[in-house]
Each structure stands twice: as C-alpha cells, then as structure tokens.
C-alpha cells in the first residue's frame, strides 16, 4: 500500500526521502552518537513509518516529518563545511562513474596524425607566414570556427629585434588550458592553447648550443599559423568483449610491446589481416589475402580501393608495397613487403593493421603483427569537430 501512496503523493515521497536521509546520517555518525540520541532518532523514524502506513492525510504526515527534523537537529552532530563536503563527495561519485564508463564501454580519444586520411583526419596545419594574403579572422569568428570546425589560429608578432633564444615546453595552467612561452631577445611571449609540436608546425628554430636560432625584426611574424584539430571520437570498448575484431574495422590499440613504436600510446589503423592468413601487397595497390585479392566489393574497403592513378591530397590510394612506394614517393614504408612476390604469415593471436593514407602511414608493413591483447576497441562515433565526418558514418 505504501508503494501506491509513494506513486500518488508527493508528500509521501518527500517523507520517505527524509527518513532515508536521516537513517543514512545516523549510520555515518553512529560512533559519535550516544545510545540515547540513536534511540530518539530511531523512534521518530518508526513513528513516521507508522504514520505513512496508517494514513494518507498530508497534514499528519508533514507534522510527523517536522517532528523527525526537530529530533535529528537536536541529536545529530553538525558537519563542518557541510556544503563543501557534499560537493566533493558528488565529484568523487561522478569521477568514479566516468572512469567506470570509459573503462568498460566508451573511451574518448583523438586522431593525432594523418595516417588514416581521408577516412579520419589528424591535426593539420598551414603556415600563414608564407601566405600573407590570408587574413586571420576576428576574435568572435575565431571562437565560432574553433568550437564548430576545430580551426584555431596562432599569431605572435615580434615587439623588438632579436633571436629566438628559447621555446619552453607547454604547461597546464587551468584544467584543459595550456600555455607555452618563447623568448625572442629579451622579450617573453605567451601562446595560449598551443598546438602539439608548436616549433615544428610554425617552422621556427630556437638557439641550440652553438647553433643560432631564427632572427626577427620588430613587427615580423614569429608565428602565423592555422591549425585544424584532428577528429575526436568515441571508441567502442564494449563490442570486442563478445566477439573478435573483423577485417576492415577501424581499431584502436595500445603500442605496448611493439618495439618499433613509441610505448604507452594509442594508435588507430584499419585491421586488414587475421591470425594465420598469408598476406601480399600487389603492385596494383590491392591486398592479397590467402591468394584472394581484396577490392572495392570487400566489406569496409569500399572507399579504400576507390583511388585514382596518381596520389592526391584527400584521396585514397589503396595499399602500396615498397616497390610501388619507391616509384611514387621514394619513402621507406614497407620493408616487410618489398614487392608483390613477398608475403607475410600473420602469427597466431596477432593482426595486421594499416593506415588508409598508405603513402604516409607507419603500420604493419614496417613493424609487423599487432598482438590481439593490445586492441581496446573500434572507432564508433566522431563527436567533434562538426565536419562531414561527424557521426557514425566512418567506414
């Protein structure tokens, strides 16, 4: 009967919540309270319970609630800084939920490089010092461009003549807010929210030992840079608890134990070969698995194999072996696949993974197999920035 009253009466719901809260406080303070105080509070809670069970009269219930509040105020110990304690507790509960969610269900990550273009984009930059006709937008437009398209601008102008003496590493000054300092002559400059590898992207060089740094005149642009953030995505950590990854899925994995890669990082590639399979890369830029050629009809490779005869920015180009790479770019990309006759057998409990941007990807063509245990999930949803890749549409 009480359950029905709880659904029908707001007063009853408040009374039940009050009783639960008081009992919780008694349990928390049981070692501080005397037996008489505990007995008084317990008796008042029981009287409220009887009232709830025997009547639906709101005034009677409210009177018994007031009686319980009076007894609790008299007997319970006050908490110092109660509001702060409650806020901290709620923050810890929220953090626990978030950590649990990202451990077992979804994880936030971002694409750091361009190895998966044009399926997924890493951080890209444009040095505007070489393009003086390009105007940097005003503050309001820059704000809108960053939060919608992930486009940011970094502009630093020399206030006096001098050499670039030092570029300090970025440091965190507020949660999620970094700054980076650099010194030209005797002047210090602060860059807010600097992109990764600022020196490399801005094409600047600081003094290093006996090596001179870049020199600037007053009014020169030290940094004039446009940066487009990489895709930020949710990684599905749940599905692979029930099945193995499938060919063509975009997987996220840890680099631990892969000697050719920087350790304790997350990489993202397309899974192309499974344990026990024999793999070759044809001169026509198609994978050959167990002597079966993959093409645009292969599930999840529809886009990968829709490429033109020459590489271009924003185009797919299949997969290339070293012989084809020598002819196109001269890059040393595939030491394990020198030509279309060389094959590799995937070890048990390993995968081969390759980037869609095959002419700019350090992948299994160079470092071989990826242990199954390193895979943490698959690409699920691009949540930022709001480009044509936003959503579930990534293949």
**pLDDT tens profile 239-256:** 999 999 999 999 999 999
Both 277 and 183 in one domain: the answer is no
Mean pLDDT (whole number) for 88-110: 80
Please give the structure tokens belonging to residue 36: 């008489």
**Is residue 108 in a domain?**
no
Alpha helices in the chain (DSSP H): 2-8, 10-28, 35-54, 58-75, 82-104, 139-149, 198-202, 322-328, 364-367
Residue with tokens 């350090």: 362
Residue with tokens 């093409």: 295
* In the chain, beta strands by DSSP E: 106-110, 124-127, 151-157, 162-167, 171-174, 177-184, 187-192, 215-216, 221-228, 232-236, 250-254, 266-273, 278-281, 287-289, 292-293, 344-345, 350-354, 370-371, 375-384
**Is residue 306 in a domain?**
yes
Of 75, 105, 139, which residue constitutes the final position of a domain? 75
Q: Does 69 sit behind a cis peptide bond, omega within 30 degrees of 0 on the bond before it?
A: no
Please give the structure tokens belonging to residue 244: 């193995």
Q: Which residue has the higher pLDDT, 250 or 392?
A: 250
Which CATH number goes with the domain that contains 288?
Answer: 2.10.109.10
Which CATH number goes with the domain that contains 48?
Answer: 1.20.1270.10
Both 304 and 197 in one domain: the answer is no
Which range, of 96-100, 213-217, 252-256, 383-387, averages the lowest pLDDT?
96-100
How many structural domains is the chain composed of? 3
Q: Are strands 287-289 and 177-184 parallel, antiparallel or unpaired?
A: unpaired
Both 271 and 331 in one domain: the answer is yes
Of 171, 204, 228, which residue constitutes the final position of a domain? 228
Both 308 and 291 in one domain: the answer is yes
What confidence score (pLDDT) does residue 1 get? 63
DSSP code at position 192: E
Both 193 and 246 in one domain: the answer is no
**Is residue 245 in a domain?**
yes
3-class SS at 259?
Answer: coil
Both 266 and 338 in one domain: the answer is yes
In the predicted model, is pLDDT for residue 102 greater than 80? no
Please give the structure tokens belonging to residue 176: 């999620």
Both 213 and 259 in one domain: the answer is no
What confidence score (pLDDT) does residue 260 get? 87
**Is residue 81 in a domain?**
no
Structural domain boundaries, residue 169: 124-228
Q: For residues 115 and 161, what is the distance between their CA atoms, to the nearest angstrom? A: 39
Q: What is the pTM of this model?
A: 0.73
pLDDT tens sequence across 37-84: 889 989 998 998 888 888 878 888 889 899 989 988 888 888 776 677
Of 195, 228, 261, which residue constitutes the final position of a domain? 228
In the predicted model, is pLDDT for residue 339 greater than 70? yes
How many residues are recorded in the chain? 395
């Amino acid at each position: 009967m009480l359950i029905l009253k709880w659904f029908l009466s707001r007063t009853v719901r408040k009374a039940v919540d009050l009783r639960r809260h008081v009992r919780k406080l008694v349990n928390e303070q049981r070692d501080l309270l005397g037996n008489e105080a505990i007995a008084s509070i317990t008796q008042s809670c029981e009287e409220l319970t009887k009232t709830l069970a025997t009547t639906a009269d709101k005034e009677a219930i409210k009177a018994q609630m007031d009686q319980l509040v009076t007894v609790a105020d008299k007997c319970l110990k006050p908490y110092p800084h109660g509001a702060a304690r409650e806020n901290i507790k709620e923050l810890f509960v929220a953090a626990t939920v978030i950590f649990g969610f990202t451990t077992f269900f979804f994880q936030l990550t971002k694409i750091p490089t361009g190895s998966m273009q044009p399926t997924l984009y890493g951080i890209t930059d444009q040095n505007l010092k070489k393009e003086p006709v390009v105007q940097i937008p005003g503050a309001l437009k820059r704000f809108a461009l960053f939060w919608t398209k992930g486009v940011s601008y970094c502009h630093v102008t020399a206030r006096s003549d001098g050499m670039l003496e030092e570029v300090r590493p970025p440091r965190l000054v507020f949660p999620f807010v970094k700054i980076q300092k650099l010194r030209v002559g005797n002047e210090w400059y602060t860059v807010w929210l600097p992109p990764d590898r600022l020196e490399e992207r801005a094409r600047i060089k600081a003094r290093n030992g006996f090596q001179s740094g870049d020199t600037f005149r007053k009014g020169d642009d030290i940094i004039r840079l446009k940066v487009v953030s990489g895709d930020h995505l949710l990684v599905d950590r749940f599905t692979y608890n029930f099945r193995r990854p499938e060919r063509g899925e975009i997987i996220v994995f840890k680099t631990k134990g892969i000697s050719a890669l920087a350790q304790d990082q997350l990489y993202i590639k397309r899974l192309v070969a499974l344990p026990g399979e024999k793999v070759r890369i044809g001169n026509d830029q198609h994978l050959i698995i167990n002597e079966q050629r993959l093409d645009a009809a292969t599930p999840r490779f529809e886009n990968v194999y829709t490429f033109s005869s020459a590489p271009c920015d924003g185009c797919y180009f299949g997969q290339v072996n070293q012989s084809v790479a020598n002819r196109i770019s001269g890059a040393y990309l595939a030491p394990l696949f020198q030509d279309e006759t060389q094959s590799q057998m995937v070890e048990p409990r390993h995968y081969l993974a390759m980037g869609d941007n095959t002419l700019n990807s350090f992948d299994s063509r160079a470092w071989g197999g990826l242990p199954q245990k390193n895979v943490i999930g698959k690409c699920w949803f691009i949540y930022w920035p709001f480009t044509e890749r936003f959503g579930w549409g990534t293949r």
